[in-house]
A and B are shown apart, each in its own frame.
Chain A
Amino acid sequence: MNSSEKKSLQISACRIRMDAVTGVYHAKSGHPGGSLSAADLLAYLYFKEMKVDPKNPKDPDRDRFVLSKGHCCPGLYGALAERGYFSPEEMKTLRHIGSMLQGHPNMNDTPGVDMSTGSLGQGVSAACGMALAGKLDQKDYRVYTILGDGEIEEGQVWEAAMFAAHKKLDNLCLIVDNNGLQIDGPVEEVGGPGPIDEKLRAFGFDVQVIDGHDFDAIEAAFAHARTVKGKPSAIVAKTVKGKDVSFMENQVGWHGTAPNAEQYETAMNDLNKVLAGLEAE
């Protein structure tokens, strides 16, 4: 990846973070922490990896994305807005009555949302179904799904993992946003889902563990995933919950809390500094 492409992705990711924080601030509720941790992955997926067209969001040959950790939709909505599915101004309507941006993703309300999710563990099954449909129809689209590291405590995730490997869904790429925190505390204290990579490998996945904020690593991982045949791919992305907002980073409390006006200003200042730094380079 050349430096200007990387910078462009970093700028997109920063804008996604601004959109997410703005949405949650205006909603006075929502989930900023996991939206910020997944922003670089979302930026890469929507701006580089996936074959999608905002002007034709229902194209039957498009790549699919399922946000299995549906509560992080402020991040997904930010990515869709930045990619041109709708105006970033919509973010201010997040969670309001009549908004196209529901508190958890609704495929019938929001252009670009491929599956309604929010109840943890369910999106990954739907992603497997989409990948299977692609196999049945002999189409070459790929299906991507992001799960939370807390989410994988749901048993259904492992039912889906078994299914994906058994059906050899090599058009499926499962990404775990491994930010290490869930509502009640560190994942290893609450539910103990680890070792995530070894478990997925045992279930029959090709597994890569990467720094989920390093675009070179993200690019290499997705490129490798495309070459895997006969088994599904998993990318365990080590991330920082609340990434790039100083007071939210690695703080459990910012899983599902909205910033007040003062905190919002601080958060946007932090992100504007990141953006200015990127643009000045």
Chain B
Amino acid sequence: MAEMVKLATRESFGKAIAAFADQYPDVVVLDADLAAATKTGIFKKAHPERFIDCGIAECNMIGIAAGLAACGKIPFAASFAMFSAGRAFEQVRNSVGYPHLNVKIVGSHAGISVGEDGATHQCCEDIGLMRTIPGMVILNPADHYEMMAAVKAAIEYKGPVYLRLGRLAVESVNNNDDYKFEIGKGITLRDGNDITVIATGLLVGEAVKAADALKAEGISVRVIDMHTIKPLDKELVLKAAKETGKIITAEEHNVIGGLGDAVASVLAEELPTPLIKIGVNDEFGYSGPATELLKEFGLCASHIEEVVKKALGK
């Protein structure tokens, strides 16, 4: 068992990309004046000759990354999710997605847990936007260990990837020695028979906490860490639906367009199953400390517990 680490996934990303730089000499990192926040600064310090600050011009940064990829580089282009996936959506779609170039789009400070900066920076639409681009892989790691593995997998995968990072420190849940990351394969963190919580990113840790608390009350909750939202691990979703009969999804994203909708599509088409989506309920966020905001928006273990009990009629 590896040690428990409490670290923001943006920090883990910075460490990972710097750590893998020697092994993968084609990797270059681009940022748009947010290196200190997205943690690409860690890479910049270690490999300044492979770090490209594009200034505050995210749309151009995505195009630069596309041109670099067309010449054999493996660019990671980072900004806040609001800008790399949001502002530059059309550049990602047309200059990266359509030619299927080997660009890794990094969206940091995703979700409501940006905190005090408020609604303009709390991106809860990025997963939805990226899901609509054909051929885009979407990774939303839950903790430090998963981020380290996801960055390596993204480097080795040939094609566009969207990598989502969080601002807030999260306790690791994937400390098991047999932990194995594979793009498109969810991880069952807790087995259970009464209901399944399929969570992604920051909500994975919360779902585990909820499941552990409910276990003491005799409720058996399966928890799936769905680190890859596209391509979605359909098999694992359908297996959970068959075996537990009820599904809850949990994500720090609008309930429109995110993990919940991806799971809903699979269930509706292949095995209609009762589903409850936990997420941001189609509203903008506001300023406040991240942990308090997460409670306000129901993106926490206690709310997951409530929803589980309600779904089971308890």
Asked if A235 is an interface residue, CB under 8 A from chain B, the answer is no
| A156-B63 in contact given A106-B99, A115-B99, A122-B91 (Cβ < 8 Å) | yes
Report the nearest B residue to A166, measured CB to CB. B55
For chain B, residues 9 to 30, give those with C-beta under 8 angstroms from any C-beta of chain A. Answer: 28
Q: A119-B90, A125-B95, A136-B50 are in contact. Are A163 and B71 (CB under 8 A)?
A: no
Q: Is B100 an interface residue (CB 8 A)?
A: yes
* Contact present for B66 and A125 (CB under 8 Å): yes
Q: Hey, which chain B residues are within 8 Å of A119, CB to CB?
A: 90-91, 94-95
Across the interface, do A159 and B68 meet the contact criterion of CB distance under 8 Å? no
B67 contacts chain A at the CB level, 8 A cutoff: yes
B105 CB to nearest A CB, Å: 14
Interfacial chain A residues near B90, Cβ < 8 Å: 119
B52 within 8 A of A: yes
Count of inter-chain pairs, beta carbons less than 8 A:
107
- Least CB distance, B169 to chain A, in whole angstroms: 34
Q: In the bound complex, how far is the Cα of B258 from the Cα of A63, in angstroms?
A: 42
Closest to B90 in A: A119
Type the 1/0 row for B61-91, where 1 means its CB is closer than 8 Å to any CB of A.
0111111111111010000000000000011
Alpha-carbon gap, A152 to B67, bound state (A)? 19
Do B54 and A60 have beta carbons less than 8 Å apart?
Answer: no
A residues 110-128 touching B (CB-CB < 8 Å): 114-116, 118-119, 121-128
**Whole-angstrom distance from the CB of A74 to the nearest CB of chain B?**
20
Interface residues of B in 140-166 (CB under 8 A from A): none
Interface pair B100/A159, CB less than 8 Å apart: no
Q: How far is the CB of A115 from chain B (nearest CB, A)?
A: 6
Q: B64 contacts A118, CB within 8 Å?
A: no
Interface string of A38-60 (1 = CB under 8 A from B): 00000000000000000000001
A162 to B55, CA, bound (A): 9
Q: Would you call the interface of chain B mostly helix, strand, loop, or mixed?
A: helix
Partner of A129, one of B55, B64, B99: B64
User: Quick check: B71 and A134 within 8 Å, CB to CB?
Assistant: yes
Instruction: State how many angstroms separate the Cβ of A166 from the closest Cβ of chain B.
Output: 7
Across the interface, which residues of A come within 8 angstroms of B52, CB to CB?
132, 167
Known: A107-B99, A128-B63, A163-B54. A122 touches B70 (CB 8 A): no
Q: Can you give 19 A-B contacts (C-beta < 8 A)? A: A114-B70, A115-B66, A119-B90, A122-B95, A125-B60, A125-B64, A125-B95, A126-B63, A126-B64, A127-B67, A131-B67, A132-B67, A132-B68, A133-B68, A133-B72, A136-B28, A136-B68, A160-B63, A163-B55
Instruction: Name A's B-contacting residues (CB within 8 A).
Output: 60, 64, 66, 106-108, 114-116, 118-119, 121-134, 136-137, 155-156, 159-160, 162-163, 166-167
